[in-house]
Amino acid sequence: MKKIYLLFKPHLLVLLCCLGLNSCWKLRGHYGGPKSFEPVERLVRPTDVALPTGYKIEAIAQGLTYPTALTFDDNGDIYVTEAGYSYGEVWTQPRLLRLETGGKTTIVATGEENGPWSGLTFFRDAFYVSEGGTKQSGRILKITRDGEVTPLVQNLPSSGDHFTTGPVISPDGYLYFGQGTATNSGVVGPDNYQFGWLKRNPDFHDIPCQDITLTGQNFESDNPLTPDTKDKTVTGPFSKFGTPATAGQVIKGQLPCSGAIMRLPVAGGNLELVAWGFRNPFGMAFGPGNTLFVTDNGYDTRGSRPIYGSGDYLWAIKPGTWYGWPDYSDGNPLNTSDYETGKQDPKFILAKHPNKPPKPAATLGVHSSANGLDFSTNTSFGHVGEAFIAEFGDQAPNVGRIYGPVGYKVVRVNPTNGVIQDFAVNKGRVNGPASMQKHGGLERPIAVQFDPNGEALYVVDFGIMPITEEGESPRKGTGVVWKITREVNR
């Protein structure tokens, strides 16, 4: 069955609006003025955030630079990571910070210029951090309370579009983490040059977790690696830029690999594959029945193999399963007009598929960037067993054109029936980040975490990051940590 939105293709929807209304919707493009990383004054006003009746929100820390994750130690103290890197190609120093009373911070540990530090957890007197590896390779780091940093996992394929994510610790003592893909949909292209990494690492590409056979589909594109602006090149999937594929070609699988969830004993040991076929498995948490749930950012309409209309997903993980990337979305095949971009239907690049991909537990908004998640476990907060997910917000038009801002909020999801409801969202007639709406609410929520008792939900807000004509413009010193609680008199 066709998706309903096929009845209203973008150009037709705009036409209908123009015919029936005095004014028209228009595609949202760049916003935010010239590209800059310099700090700006950020208005923080909790009353600009809408919550369900009976809940309140407050800002407990401000002035952070690219915060990404939060955890608690066994004393209940709060810790936050600052990424050290952001899209837009800006590097700062990754840091692990302890939040003190009054919003002050104490540095626990610092990292090298190899961010982003994108995830954080605490287990048995140590912190575990996922390091993105933009300049070297991805790693999982173990950090002691006194700041000693030791790599637990190294040489992860994390130098592309998406990074090493997680980690979380399972009840039986395994450390689980995610590894995003190098590319949007399996093919290195000029978009990866614009992201910055293709010029730094021209041999990098996606790595399958198991042996795959290619259809022989190739993709012609401009060649930004040469000074000739008219130069073209042909690239095959799972190959370095400028290397064609052949029909029946076998790409050997290996570990570690792209677009996967992997694990190892937290005490150290051999790396194991849990599941694969994800694009960017960003957030992960153990939910009801100790099932691992993962958020996954869907395809963009960009690059040599653009995909239109792919949402973000919440997956309930079944070990040993392939989840569909790079030939499926939402459990549906990409080689249909549902996902075409106006040129042609996307074609399969894998000749054989490991299994029929499952359906997600929930489908979130296209380009919403569904990232960190956690589950409610306490009736005093409410919604026990439901997932709370931070939606970072779109990066349009770099990822594809949209009709209005998507994301920039916290939603709650029933993992049993897939129903999604807004939980914390900016007030106003239209959705969008606070800086666009000229008020003091949420900018870009990137992670959520309940306290150890499950009585308060903490929201990590990455900060102001408008999209300019030159690309992402993340502003230093604009990150915030919010705290949401349920009022006693309810």
Predicted confidence (pLDDT) per residue in 53-93, tens digit: 999 999 999 999 999 999 999 999 999 999 999 999 999 99
Partners of 61 in beta bridges: 481
Joined together, the tokens standing for residue 381 give: 């907060």
Question: What pLDDT is stored for residue 28 in this prediction?
Answer: 64
- Residues of the chain whose pLDDT is less than 70? 1-28, 343, 489-490
Q: Say how far apart CA 380 and CA 227 lie, in whole Å.
A: 62
Domain 4-486 has CATH 3.40.1160.10: no
Question: What pLDDT is stored for residue 32 in this prediction?
Answer: 78
Collapsing DSSP to helix, strand or coil, 126 comes out as strand
Q: Say how far apart CA 126 and CA 257 lie, in whole Å.
A: 26
What is the bridge-based pairing of β-strands 445-450 and 456-461?
antiparallel
Question: What pLDDT is stored for residue 479 in this prediction?
Answer: 98
Q: Which residues contact 242 (CB under 8 A, 6 or more apart)?
A: 223, 225, 233, 234, 235
Q: Which residues contact 1 (CB under 8 A, 6 or more apart)?
A: none
Q: In the chain, what are the domain boundaries?
A: 4-486
Calculated CA dihedral for residues 395, 399, 400, 402, nearest 10 degrees: -20
Joined together, the tokens standing for residue 228 give: 């000739």
**Alpha-carbon radius of gyration of the chain:** 22
Fill in the amino acid letter for 55: Y
Question: What pLDDT is stored for residue 19 in this prediction?
Answer: 36
Joined together, the tokens standing for residue 321 give: 């399963």
Q: Say how far apart CA 85 and CA 8 lie, in whole Å.
A: 39
Joined together, the tokens standing for residue 254 give: 């290996």
The C-alpha angle with vertex 115 and arms to 110 and 120, in degrees rounded to 5, equals 70
